[in-house]
Structure 1
Amino acid sequence: MKNRQRTWTKRVTAILSLAAVTLPLATNVAQASTTAQLAPQRAVYGYFMDTYKQNVSTYKTAANNPMIGMLAEFSNYYADGKNLNKALMQENIDKSAKITQNRTAAEEERSYLTDRRDLRYSVINALGPYAPAFIKNANAQTPFHKMPSTPDPVNQKHAHVDWADENAKLGPIVAFMNHNSYTAYSNTGIVKSVVRYKRPYRWSTDVKPLPALSKIMAAAPATDFDFASGHTTTGFEDGLSLAYAFPERFQELLTRSSEIGLDRVIAGRHSPLAVMGGRMAGSAVVASALNNFSNQDMMKKAYNAAHSADLLGSKDTSAQDDFADYQKNREDYRYRMTYGFKQIGNPNVDMHVPKGAEALLATRLPYLTDTQRRDVLFTTGMPSGYPLMDDAEGWGRLDLFSAASGYGKFNDAVTVKMNAAKGGFNAQDNWRNDISGKGSLIKAGSGLLQLSGNNTYAGGVSVKGGTVRLASTTATGKGSVQVKHGSLQLSTQKAIIKGHYQQAQNGQLSLAKTARLAIKKNAKLAGTLKLTDGHLKNGATIMTFRSHKGKFAHVTGLSKSWHVVYTKHAVKLVK
């Protein structure tokens, strides 16, 4: 076995050296999204989505097995039974110990259930108010409902019932999840057999196994290895598959998938590096399945089933939602991407977007093109240099949680053409990221796009159709705003336009009677002013500017005897 390990290590070292030479350098992550930079980077095994079915026991090198190749960075830290980066590997075990020593009773219970339950069942709670309908209409079940007060016997099996029914009302979703997560090539068993890195509780007695699992863990064979975490891999396969079918809970499902990885560390089963590898593996497997043409009919049926009365139409607002807090979800997910490890490699390597990764966002950002979805992944990717995450294709640096909130940077003019008639995210979406860059936003078509971030992009906004809603003071960045057709809408009490504002005859500005639009430069006014909520206050200023030309042709929402007055630097409400 040692000879085989040495052979793998030598090949991986050569492969990684070659990859390091071919990776372009950058001053910072996501500097520009030119066509060349958005092009996928080929790894030594090819592209994961083209070779993912080679993750079987007949292929055991980084050159012919994409799972081994993608996770080959680990060989720089551990190989041939030796810690090659002693500080990092000690930190890996120290983090494991700290997490197990500080777990709460609630975390113990959750990690036990994660360990015992079928993982496809384990992601259901991320559906929140839709979970009861899913359980009912998929005939979902589990025999595990609480953690025992004494350790499980050694022969205690994992869930031994079918987690759900492919013939149920939501059967197409069940079939889709089954297909993506339990196949011969969707696991990390081959990687484990090659890497042979021990479980964390076997490295140090400071890592405390979960008491309820202590007998099972103690009796596990020596060949029960840590890297990479199979449970985490499957958790992401299940979460991302369900998120594709039901993108309304995309970020909540991602957060639960990452929590499954954390649960493995909490139980003492896996180390942080092992679950980081599981995230990469699960993401790559699902993206590959989504790009497989033979799966398209299954994908469509799963999506349609999710958007029927049996799930989307069966929301239970009284149901518990453990993932209702967006900010907490975001913080938790991003922490679990790195587990607090510091950058140990070059922090200035350009982001790469793996071939086919854009398919992961196809239903979450349906109004964008494939190229635009790649650009979203490019501009929301993690910086380089973190342990394990700098694989040649870019799977490790994908931040799918942030990508689900839209662009992170406008490098050029970005045209968003929505179609409200299609419903869902085609009709309304919310970009929560803080968007930077030199580029601009052009809103076309119909539908409503909300901007909620603290934005600094320089190119401004042009509304040519539909609605752009400003949900933060700096939503429009640093540029000018034009409303040619459609509507600019304020949902915040104050929004600032740092450039000029121009509204054409077919444009509309909509804001509350108590809100204010502060234009730092000049305004050219026409079209409609729509005043909505709030109490009228005599003399209230609703718009300021350096100077203005023209007036609104129509004003709606004012009571009789009220009108607008235009002064040199403001528009006011007067009775």
Structure 2
Amino acid sequence: MKRSGNKPAVLTVVFAASLLALSVQAASRSGNNAINGVDLLSGYNRLWTPGATWNTGTPTAFGAPILQRNIQYVVDLAKTRTQAQEIAAYYDDRRDQSYSLISGLGSLANGYLAGSGAFTTIPVFDASTQTTKYNDNGNGAGDAKAQLGKVVQLVQAIRNDASTTPAKNAYQYPRPWRQASVDIVPLSLRPALSTTPQSDGGFPSGHTNAAYLAAMGFGYAVPQRLGEELFRASELGNNRIVAGMHSPLDVIGGRITATYFAIDNLVNNAQLRSDAFVQAQAYFAQQCGGDINTCVDRIDPATDQQSQHAQDKALYTARMTYGFAPVGPTNLAPVVPVNAEVLLETRFPYLTASQRRDILASTELSSGYVVIDESNGYGRLNLMAAADGYAAFTGNVSVNMDASQGGFNAHDA
């Protein structure tokens, strides 16, 4: 929908229902972090039985072929890894994940760097990475006292108390290079390999968890790039597989935990999320000559790695399952967790909370996938698809857009 010229200040549109019916179920939650990573990922128990030590766990009879494919996927990918892929995987391994996700802002990224003071200390990739472990002593999303300090604080708050360590300790699933061979890890990342396997489990991926958390923070403050931020998180997660550091199921697990923690922390930081959105929109409007869309609409594929939207969304969706076959009913009703609609609050400000939940239901992944099905709905949410709006209508949908409020209230498609 686009509005311009002498059209009314308030536009009301009613969409008719399609024949596709969708139902919504709510996953119950209570208290801060009442559901932790261990609970959310309980489906892994169908695949893997942890041992008394890190190297004594065993696949279940049901899980053995699935976990064999899980590791073989990493081994096969290592054989075709290009230098460009190695470099991307190196940076996503060594840099703070919040800093890495700034690139998801596309044409706004340089403005964000200037307004946040964000920096990394990881040097340019060269031969020295094969012998030296570089640690990032930068400031991640930036400086909380900078012009975009509220956005920085929001990303930090979303990542707060959102660790994958409890799940790693509970499931004790070794990283792929410990199951296959260190040879699947590129030379540039060998200095970074942990020597303490007992505290370095593979499932779920902590880097992936952190990347999605940052993506949802940036995407809330700058919803004009919500889909692209989510795809950037998907890229970082995939780079963990490219690096031989994690398996597809590790990455799926990290996406699931991040979705839960992001919703929980956004809900618990209502004033901060509001302040961060207002600050980001005002800052970028000024940076873009009065209208943030002036910058957002200017897509340069040479510098914006998230510029092929349809292709990116298809890849994002494929990475939700990494090609694993369904093992259960594929026609179960959508499950939208409580408060999940907060993730779309700034992207669809002209819709009600119930309507945003309907978007999440209409776009989510079908059922049938192990680990994902047992995640109380968090694993089935296809957030990149949801950022584009409804996939189907279950009834007449009334949309009320007030142009005086600006942003997506005045202009959307």
- When normalised by structure 1's length, the TM-score is 0.63
The runs of 4+ residues in structure 1 deviating greater than 4 Å are 150-154, 316-319
Q: Residue deviations 1:241-289, cap 9 Å, x none? A: 1100000001100000111100111111100001001111111111111
What's the counterpart of residue 343 of structure 1? 326
Structure possessing the higher radius of gyration over alpha carbons: 1
Q: Is 1:389 matched up with 2:372?
A: yes
3-state SS of paired residue (1:308):
helix
- For the pair 1:78 / 2:78, whether they are aligned, the reply is no
Pairs aligned (count): 377
Correspondence for 1:244 = 220
How many angstroms does 1:312 deviate by?
Answer: 6.4
Q: Give the letter for the 2:391 counterpart.
A: G
Superposed counterparts of 1:278-293, under 5 Å: 278-292=254-268
**Segment drifting more, 225-234 vs 208-217:** 208-217
1:141 aligns with 2:119: yes
Structure 2 counterpart of 1:38, which letter? V
Give the stretch that moved more between structures: 213-222 or 409-418: 213-222
Q: CA deviation at 1:158?
A: 2.5
Please, which of 42, 65, 79 is the counterpart of residue 87 of structure 1? 65
Question: 1:306 aligned to 2:280?
Answer: yes
Maintained 8 Å contact 1:153/1:216: no
- What secondary structure sits across from 2:412 in the alignment? strand
Aligned to 2:8: none
| SS of the residue 2:282 aligns to | coil
CA deviation vs aligned residue, 1:153-212 (integer Å, no higher than 9, x gap): 57x35311323111111111011111111x2x3011000001000000111128600211
SS of residue in 1 equivalent to 2:379:
helix
Given the alignment, which residue of 232, 249, 261 partners 1:256? 232
Identify the match of residue 191 of structure 2 among 211, 215, 219: 215
Residues 275-329 of structure 1: per-residue CA shift (max 9 Å, x gap): 001111111111111222xx12211111011112346634495782111111121
Trace 1:63-212 onto structure 2 (pairs within 5 A). 65-80=35-50, 81-84=57-60, 85-153=63-131, 156-163=133-140, 164-181=142-159, 183=160, 185-205=161-181, 208-212=184-188
Which residue in the other structure is 2:21 paired with?
32
Correspondences of 1:505-520 after superposition (within 5 Å): none
Partner of 2:412: 429
**Out of 240, 244, 247, which is 1:268 matched to?**
244
Letter in 1 for 2:46: N
Shift of 1:220: 4.4
Q: Give the corresponding residue for 2:313.
A: 330
Match of 2:27 among 29, 35, 41: 41
Amino acid at match of 2:148: L
Letter in 2 for 1:396: G
Richer in helix (by share):
2
Amino acid at match of 1:173: V
Supply the distance in 1 between the matched residues of 2:72 and 2:104 (Cα, whole angstroms). Answer: 30
Aligned partner of 2:3 in structure 1 is: none
Distance 1:169 1:238 in 2: 18
Q: Structure 1 residue 353 and structure 2 residue 339: aligned?
A: no
Preserved CA contact (<8 Å) 2:212 2:258: yes
User: CA 1:218 to 1:303, structure 2 compared with 1: closer, same or farther past 3 Å?
Assistant: closer
Alpha-carbon distance in structure 2 between the residues aligned to 1:100 and 1:52: 40
Corresponding residue for 1:495?
Answer: none
Check conservation: 1:118, 1:158, Cα contact below 8 A: no
Task: Give the drift of 1:392.
Answer: 5.2
Question: What are the Cα deviations for residues 432-479 of structure 1, in whole angstroms up to 9, with x where unaligned?
Answer: xxxxxxxxxxxxxxxxxxxxxxxxxxxxxxxxxxxxxxxxxxxxxxxx
Q: Which has the larger strand fraction?
A: 1
> Counterparts of 2:158 and 2:185 in 1: how far apart (Å)?
30
Equivalent AA in structure 2 for residue 313 of structure 1: Q
Bigger mean CA offset, 307-316 vs 156-165 = 307-316
**Secondary structure in 1 aligned to 2:127?**
coil
What do the CA deviations read for 1:310-362 (whole angstroms, capped 9, x no partner)? 46634495782111111121122112111111111221211110011111010
1:34-70 Cα distance to aligned partner (Å, 9 max, x none):
xxx434133xxxx1xx34435xxxxxxxxxx532111
Asked if the contact 1:180/1:286 (under 8 Å) is kept, the reply is yes
* Alpha-carbon separation, structure 2, partners of 1:162 and 1:309: 20
Match of 2:386 in 1: 403
Deviation at 1:419, TM superposition (A): 1.3
SS in 2 for 1:396: coil
State the match for 1:380 in structure 2.
363
How many Å apart are 1:223 and its aligned residue? 2.8
| 3-state SS, counterpart of residue 169 of structure 2 | helix
Q: Is the 8 A contact 1:92 1:272 kept in 2?
A: yes
Q: Aligned residues: percent identity?
A: 32
2:122–2:134 Cα contact (<8 Å) kept? no
2: CA distance, partners of 1:179 / 1:127: 19
CA distance, structure 2, for counterparts of residue 38 and residue 355 of structure 1: 11
In 2, the alpha carbon distance for the partners of 1:328 and 1:375 equals 24
**Cα 1:307–1:98 shift into 2, 3 Å:** same
Higher relative contact order (CA 8 A, sep 6+): 2
TM-score, with length taken from structure 2: 0.87
- Separation of aligned partners in 2, 1:195 and 1:76: 11
Alpha-carbon separation, structure 1, partners of 2:149 and 2:231: 24
Q: Which runs of 5+ in 2 are unaligned?
A: 1-18, 51-56, 289-294
Residues 114, 122 of structure 1: 8 Å contact kept: yes
